[in-house]
Structure 1
């Protein structure tokens, strides 16, 4: 039986995007951050980000324990945090310390929070509203040269090791021995909590999937809520501000979170839906700078919310999110049926964007709505400025919309909206008919995107399997598609699966972003379709291959990549593949599901 360790918005956690070696307390805003001093006592390093990662360690949802190993040329740093209630102990150990660097800690307020930081002897007194904390180093004391109003620095007498305690003022002061015992006890508790599977590969898959989620979970001060971002480094400087939510990315974060934490899964769904536009759709981008008011993204929200319901059986949460999901669903045909034929196209409306790089009302902006930014599927597409859509019905979008209707009809029924449930079920049947009638190519034996002039786009991508995910295909056709295309080694099958464009496509050799590389969300959606039709042998092999790709870099480098090379399985071979981007963990989740675990996730 596992200790709960449920995620909490309040308390200590690794919420600050600026450093992996920092913990923030909410609601006070007190932050403890580990840094490095030169042997002369000058600040050498204040922040650590993904380039400095050596190993992602254990991290319980509530941060009762979290650990990370960092590497810079001059030394290796092991940092761990242990907490209970409002007390935190930070512990840092340096090895391979060729320049005699010294660990130290700053106590200050996280961005957007205010209070006082004062020094009383060797203790830092922190006041935030009616909360009062003492911060101290049991094996050292204050570093006066680095302390100034609003910031106090602590240093140890031990050159390669540091212990820092932050606790409410009424808590009895801990000596070094008791502080170390506290950390050790929390470490053992976390080891017990994290141990889920006897099989080493499955245990490693779980660890990589979960750790990539929780270590990318931050606190977005501008919207006053926690959220799992695609990569915490994207929220430090640049185009987004202190957080960024991409619609389908963050919904998948909710799915991955649900393996461990109901509250974090719900927090991620709430964060996505908090960005709904005035017209009722979930924008593709929502961040501190604003929203992409011109476009949405692949509608996976209802499917994932239904899976959360299968997991937690919490009808109240369905009531909470139902209206927004329904309004978003109903928006699609008001804006994305450009030629009025009952099928949807990707598009972008003629409205301004918060950042010029995002674009709007262009073909590229419509490609961004697909989420497949540079996919060869759209290389020859045209954009209709009057309709604000591509002149091409998209299999993936129409299947996703049908899937959304199916899942939302189940949600509607569960919350007692029977009339809407019936309407949505009929919508699913209508979309099934249109997809099979208009987007099926008898010649190629697969669904294909179709231009408004009636011609098919002959290029093959995993989105063409999404009708299986949407349950709009009969059994014989589903089996034929899988046998003749998914399992075809000239198209999609191979040692590493599945490429984002067919292996025999001219763009496959690019292995650049959506031009041939493997992506977790595509694999997940295709895997869902395989399971929906009871193709269990294929599902198991698909899971085995996905797991093998995931584990190679996770075990070697602690990387969970944004995308992977479809020939070699590498993630490090290109610049545009973030090293710790949580949805790479969907490959691990597929492996876990295909092993027979996590039955709720693949229903």
Structure 2
């Protein structure tokens, strides 16, 4: 559950300005799943296999919950979910007669509602290894490759171009994740494509990112925080470095050299 502040994707509409603990963020859930797998790895490296088994069980349960609640078979995508629901218990309503229990015949029996807002975070199910092969095929075909939604000249839009909230405003505090291209999101989607064997699409995205940063550095002598999807023009914060250097991993992969893995 997210409170919508300082979660890394500042103004993701699925969490931004929502009530506290009302959003089951696909972004945060995918990150937590990878964190749990990292703890399994670290536990095994420290010869603490019993502790590792506990983390592995937590990871298994989280993956199952993400599959159950966040995958949308209709759209073929992973979404955040809305947890802002009233309790499912029957409620006494004396206005309709003594001891009348409203909606007692069929109270709510679902835990959450899918937020069908097309945010780039849905691709993280590939990066985290949560998606099944069939799900991955749908995600790539119906969403990654769609020029009307995510796919652009500069990479993956952080919010579908078809969403009403789509915006290219240069903003800080919050930084804008409502459509602009970010180096970190391009990289994480690239990594998921590569890991699931979509090498043509992974190469396409890697080349777009190399072009984006190369153009910026050649023109401005520095990199920026995020970019306009069609032209690749920088929108904010000249000199931003940080995860932009992950493009070096993309270059290594393109050239057939050793690529640094998470763990």
- TM-score range, shorter-chain basis? 0.7 to 0.9
Deviation per CA, 1:514-558: give whole Å up to 9, x if none. Answer: 121111122222222112212211111111111111110112222
Instruction: Find out whether 1:489 has 2:147 as its counterpart.
Output: yes
Indicate if the aligned counterparts of 1:531 and 1:602 stay in contact, CA closer than 8 A: no
Query: Counterparts of 1:582 and 1:599 in 2: how far apart (Å)?
Result: 18
Q: 1:429-578 residue pairs with structure 2 within 5 A?
A: 429-452=60-83, 453=85, 454-512=112-170, 513-571=176-234, 574=235, 576-578=236-238
Give the equivalent residue in structure 1 for 2:2. Answer: 346
Give the equivalent residue in structure 1 for 2:247. Answer: 587
Deviation of residue 511 (structure 1)? 4.2
Deviation of residue 507 (structure 1)? 2.7
Indicate if the aligned counterparts of 2:14 and 2:23 stay in contact, CA closer than 8 A: no
Deviation per CA, 1:170-190: give whole Å up to 9, x if none. Answer: xxxxxxxxxxxxxxxxxxxxx
- TM-score where L is the length of structure 2: 0.81
Partner SS, residue 491 of structure 1: coil
Structure holding more strand per residue:
1
Deviation of residue 569 (structure 1)? 0.6
- TM-score where L is the length of structure 1: 0.37
Query: Counterparts of 2:179 and 2:138 in 1: how far apart (Å)?
Result: 23
Could you say which structure has the greater relative contact order, defined with CA pairs below 8 angstroms and 6 or more residues apart? 2
Query: Counterparts of 2:254 and 2:37 in 1: how far apart (Å)?
Result: 23
Query: Counterparts of 1:475 and 1:530 in 2: how far apart (Å)?
Result: 11
Query: Counterparts of 1:487 and 1:408 in 2: how far apart (Å)?
Result: 34
Largest Rg, 1 or 2: 1
What is the total number of aligned residue pairs between the two structures?
Answer: 231
Indicate if the aligned counterparts of 1:563 and 1:584 stay in contact, CA closer than 8 A: no
Indicate if the aligned counterparts of 2:70 and 2:79 stay in contact, CA closer than 8 A: yes
Deviation per CA, 1:564-586: give whole Å up to 9, x if none. Answer: 11121111xx3x33334332232
Q: Could you tell me which runs of 5 or more consecutive residues in structure 2 were left unpaired when the two chains were aligned.
A: 86-111, 171-175
Q: 1:310-459 residue pairs with structure 2 within 5 A?
A: 345-347=1-3, 366-368=4-6, 370-379=7-16, 381-383=18-20, 389=21, 391-452=22-83, 453=85, 454-459=112-117
Query: Counterparts of 1:602 and 1:548 in 2: how far apart (Å)?
Result: 24
Deviation of residue 397 (structure 1)? 0.7
Query: Counterparts of 2:260 and 2:243 in 1: how far apart (Å)?
Result: 19
Deviation per CA, 1:97-122: give whole Å up to 9, x if none. Answer: xxxxxxxxxxxxxxxxxxxxxxxxxx
Deviation of residue 435 (structure 1)? 0.4
Query: Counterparts of 1:438 and 1:586 in 2: how far apart (Å)?
Result: 31
Deviation of residue 422 (structure 1)? 1.4
Query: Counterparts of 2:35 and 2:16 in 1: how far apart (Å)?
Result: 27
Deviation per CA, 1:132-158: give whole Å up to 9, x if none. Answer: xxxxxxxxxxxxxxxxxxxxxxxxxxx
Query: Counterparts of 2:214 and 2:54 in 1: how far apart (Å)?
Result: 44
Query: Counterparts of 2:17 and 2:76 in 1: how far apart (Å)?
Result: 22
Structure holding more helix per residue:
2
